[in-house]
C-alpha cells in the first residue's frame, strides 16, 4: 500500500529546533529520517536517532524520560536497540506511529513547550554508523539508460540484452564490505588484462569508478517460500537511502563473464547514514517510467495499476567531486552529474516483488540497491564509465586537472533531495568518501 499524505507533511509545520526551519535544510520536521549514531569520545553503545536540522533526536533518551509512554511496548523496546532491524521488523504502521509521535514532540505548538531535558545531540558530536545489520545485499540494474549506455560501450550492435525489458536484472552483492559515509575507500587490486596484453596481470585498478544509486531497506520480511505481491511490496519497505557502489572497471571487464560482478564490486559499498521513510516521501510520488509503445508491458506478477500510477519517486540525485588539489587550494567541489530517480525502468516495488517471486525470504535490514541512476539527457549519467565514454572523453576540472576515472585523494559526494510546490523540501544528507591508496 502506498503511504498517504497526512498532517506530518503540512508545509506550515515548524520545529523548535531552529536549524530545521531553514529553507535549504535536508532534515526539516516534515522529513524525520532514521539512523544510528554514537556520541564521539563516549563509551555509550550505539543508539537510534532521528535527524532534525543539524541535530539528532536520541530515541533512547526519549524512552528513558518517558516521552513515548503511550507507544506499544514492542515499539518502545525497538527504539532502544543499537540497530534499526527490530523497528524495521515491526512494519510500516509502527514506523508511521513513531514518526507521528516525533513530529508532535518536535513541532512548535502553542499548546505545549519543548522538553526541558536535553534529548538532542549535535551532528558534529556524533559518529554516524550503518543504520542496520545488513544480512544480504542485492544490486539491481534498473536504469534502462545506464544499461543501454554501458551496452553500447561493449556491444555496439546489441547494447540491450533481450531479457532486460522483461525481468529486473540483479546480482547478489557483498554485505560485509558495506560501510557508512566518511570511511575512506582503498583502491582495490586484482586481475586486469590490458587490451594489448597477451595475459592478465595482478595489479592496482586504474579504472576506479563510483556508481550513483538509491538503496531500499527491507522492513517486515517474508517467510521462505512465500512470494510478495506487487500490491503489497511497499508494505515490506522501510525507507530509502543513497548508495555508492564503487566499481573497478578494468577488473570488472576481465572477470564478469560468465557469472557477472565479483571482486570488481565487493571491495566497498558506501551508504548515506539516514533512511528516509516512504511516508516522508509521499508528497514526491510519481508515475512509473513511461515505456514506449514498442516495449512489452510487465508480466502480470510485476504489474499493478497503483504501482504504475505512483510507483516512482521524484528524487533529484547529484554527484560532486573534490580532488586533493582542490581541497589544498580551498576550492569547492564541482558537480559531475544531476539526474532524477523517477526515470528508472523498474520501480522499487517491482524489484522487491521479483526478488521474492521465487520464494526467496527477505529479512529486516536487507538492502536492495537500484543500480546506477542515469537519465537520457547529457550530464545525468551516474558513473564515470558513461560520462567519459570508458575513459575516451576526459572531464576537465577548474584546477586544470582531468579525470577519466578516479585518482587517489578524490572525494566523491552523492546528494539527493525532493522538491515540489506546496511541500517542504526534504533531503537524504550526503554519501561521502575519499579514495586512498591501497594499504
Q: What is the pLDDT of residues 174-212, one digit of tens each?
A: 999 999 999 999 999 999 999 899 999 999 999 999 999
The residue whose grid cell reads 558513461 is 386
Helix (H) or strand (E) holding 324: helix 324-328
* CA dist list (Å): 174 to 138, 161, 265, 352, 402: 8, 25, 8, 18, 32
Q: Does the pLDDT at position 1 exceed 60?
A: no
pTM: 0.97
* CA dist list (Å): 329 to 245, 404, 434: 29, 22, 17
What pLDDT is recorded for position 158? 86
Kindly state the average pLDDT of the residues 69-75: 97
**Local confidence band at 117 (pLDDT 50, 70, 90 cut-offs):** confident
67-76, 112-121, 327-336: range with lowest mean pLDDT:
112-121
Which residues neighbour 20 within 8 Å (Cβ) at sequence distance 6 or greater?
A: 14, 27, 28, 29, 52, 53, 55, 106
Q: What mean pLDDT is reported for the chain?
A: 96
Question: Taking CA 25 as the corner, what is the angle to CA 24 and CA 26, rounded to the nearest 5 degrees?
Answer: 115
For residue 250, what is its C-alpha cell?
Answer: 578494468
Strand pairing category for 189-192 and 247-248: unpaired
Kindly state the average pLDDT of the residues 254-259: 90
In 3D space, the residue among 17, 261, 208, 20 whose CA is nearest the CA of residue 115 turns out to be 17
What pLDDT is recorded for position 40? 93
d(CA 23, CA 405): 35
What pLDDT is recorded for position 112? 73
Q: Peptide bond before 258: cis, by omega within 30 degrees of 0? A: yes
What pLDDT is recorded for position 157? 85
Give the percent of the chain with pLDDT over 90.
92
The residue whose grid cell reads 565479483 is 262
* pLDDT tens digit sequence for 366-413: 999 999 999 999 999 999 999 999 999 999 999 999 999 999 999 999
Which residues neighbour 255 within 8 Å (Cβ) at sequence distance 6 or greater?
A: 190, 191, 262, 263, 264
What pLDDT is recorded for position 110? 63
d(CA 313, CA 370): 12
In 3D space, the residue among 93, 103, 128 whose CA is nearest the CA of residue 28 turns out to be 103
What pLDDT is recorded for position 156? 87
In 3D space, the residue among 273, 276, 216 whose CA is nearest the CA of residue 417 turns out to be 276
- Tell me which residues are annotated as active site: 146
DSSP per-residue letters across 350-378: HHHHHHHTTSPPP-TT-EEE------SST
For residue 420, what is its C-alpha cell?
Answer: 515540489
Kindly state the average pLDDT of the residues 161-169: 96
Greatest alpha-carbon pair distance for the chain in Å reads: 77
Q: Does the pLDDT at position 146 exceed 60?
A: yes
Strand pairing category for 411-418 and 426-436: antiparallel
**Local confidence band at 109 (pLDDT 50, 70, 90 cut-offs):** confident
Helix (H) or strand (E) holding 34: strand 34-39
Half-sphere exposure of 20 (CA within 13 A, CB side): 28
Q: Higher model confidence: residue 361 or residue 112?
A: 361
- Left, alpha or beta for 53 (phi > 0: left; psi -120 to 50: alpha)? left
Q: In what order do the strands lie in the sheet with 334-340?
A: 185-186, 426-436, 411-418, 316-322, 334-340
* pLDDT tens digit sequence for 279-288: 999 999 999 9
In 3D space, the residue among 62, 86, 95, 82 whose CA is nearest the CA of residue 129 turns out to be 82
Amino acid at each position: 500500500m502506498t503511504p498517504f499524505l497526512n498532517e506530518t507533511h503540512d508545509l506550515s509545520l515548524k520545529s523548535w529546533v531552529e536549524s530545521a526551519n531553514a529553507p535549504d535544510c535536508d532534515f526539516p520536521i516534515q522529513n524525520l529520517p532514521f539512523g544510528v549514531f554514537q556520541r564521539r569520545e563516549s563509551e555509550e553503545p550505539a543508539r537510534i536517532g532521528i535527524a532534525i536540522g543539524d541535530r539528532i533526536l536520541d530515541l533512547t533518551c526519549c524512552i528513558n524520560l518517558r516521552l513515548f509512554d503511550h507507544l506499544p511496548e514492542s515499539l518502545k523496546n525497538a527504539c532502544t536497540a543499537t540497530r534499526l532491524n527490530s523497528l524495521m521488523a515491526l512494519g510500516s504502521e509502527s514506523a508511521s506511529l513513531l514518526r507521528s509521535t516525533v513530529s508532535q514532540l518536535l513541532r512548535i505548538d502553542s499548546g505545549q513547550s519543548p522538553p526541558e531535558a536535553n534529548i538532542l545531540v549535535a551532528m558534529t558530536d556524533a559518529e554516524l554508523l550503518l543504520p542496520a545489520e545488513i544480512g544480504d545485499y542485492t544490486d539491481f540494474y534498473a536504469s534502462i539508460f545506464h544499461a543501454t549506455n554501458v551496452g553500447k560501450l561493449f556491444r555496439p550492435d546489441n547494447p540491450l540484452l533481450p531479457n532486460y525489458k522483461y525481468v529486473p536484472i540483479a546480482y547478489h552483492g557483498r554485505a560485509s564490505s558495506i560501510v557508512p559515509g566518511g570511511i575512506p575507500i582503498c583502491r582495490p587490486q586484482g586481475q586486469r588484462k590490458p587490451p594489448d596484453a597477451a595475459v592478465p596481470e595482478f595489479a592496482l585498478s586504474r579504472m576506479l569508478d563510483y556508481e550513483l544509486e538509491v538503496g531500499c531497506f527491507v522492513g517486515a520480511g517474508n517467510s521462505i517460500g512465500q512470494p510478495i505481491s506487487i500490491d503489497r511490496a511497499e508494505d515490506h519497505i522501510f525507507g530509502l537511502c543513497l548508495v555508492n557502489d564503487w566499481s573497478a572497471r578494468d577488473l570488472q571487464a576481465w572477470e564478469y563473464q560468465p557469472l557477472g560482478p565479483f571482486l570488481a564490486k565487493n571491495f566497498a559499498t558506501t551508504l548515506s547514514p539516514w533512511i528516509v521513510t516512504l511516508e516522508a516521501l509521499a508528497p514526491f510520488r510519481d508515475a512509473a517510467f513511461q515505456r514506449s509503445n514498442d516495449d512489452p508491458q510487465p508480466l502480470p506478477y510485476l504489474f499493478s495499476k497503483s504501482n504504475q500510477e505512483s510507483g516512482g519517486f521524484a528524487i533529484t540525485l547529484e554527484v560532486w567531486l573534490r580532488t586533493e588539489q582542490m581541497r589544498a587550494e580551498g576550492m569547492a567541489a564541482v558537480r559531475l552529474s544531476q539526474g532524477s530517480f523517477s526515470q528508472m525502468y523498474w520501480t522499487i516495488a517491482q524489484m522487491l516483488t521479483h526478488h521474492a517471486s521465487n520464494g526467496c525470504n527477505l529479512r529486516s535490514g536487507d538492502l536492495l540497491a537500484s543500480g546506477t541512476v542515469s537519465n537520457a539527457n547529457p550530464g545525468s549519467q551516474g558513473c564515470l564509465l558513461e560520462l567519459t565514454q570508458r575513459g575516451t572523453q576526459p572531464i576537465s576540472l577548474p584546477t586544470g586537472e582531468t579525470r577519466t576515472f578516479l585518482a587517489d585523494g578524490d572525494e566523491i559526494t552523492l546528494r539527493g533531495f525532493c522538491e515540489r510546490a506546496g511541500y517542504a523540501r526534504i533531503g537524504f544528507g550526503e554519501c561521502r568518501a575519499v579514495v586512498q591508496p591501497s594499504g
